[in-house]
Amino acid sequence: MSWLCTEHARAVRKFGGEFIVSAEQERTSKPGSLKHNYGGVTTSKTRNVKAIERLRDESLRQ
């Protein structure tokens, strides 16, 4: 799912990587309940636009 070639995917690691992965626990309890029942974990990936821009700026300076 990468837009980058292997060389640039390795180079962007120093700026935090191409993607930012976040995780959130799913709640199975009712809203407002004092008892919190957590189900699974939902993960999501978002593109690290700042890292890609910094890599682009670095390559243009060279």
Using pLDDT thresholds of 50, 70 and 90, give the confidence band for residue 34.
Answer: confident
pTM of the model: 0.67
Which tens digits make up the pLDDT trace of 13-30?
999 999 999 999 888 888
Residue 55 CA to residue 14 CA, distance in Å, equals 9
Domain segments of the chain as ranges: 6-61
Residue 8 CA to residue 53 CA, distance in Å, equals 12
Q: What is the mean pLDDT of the chain?
A: 90
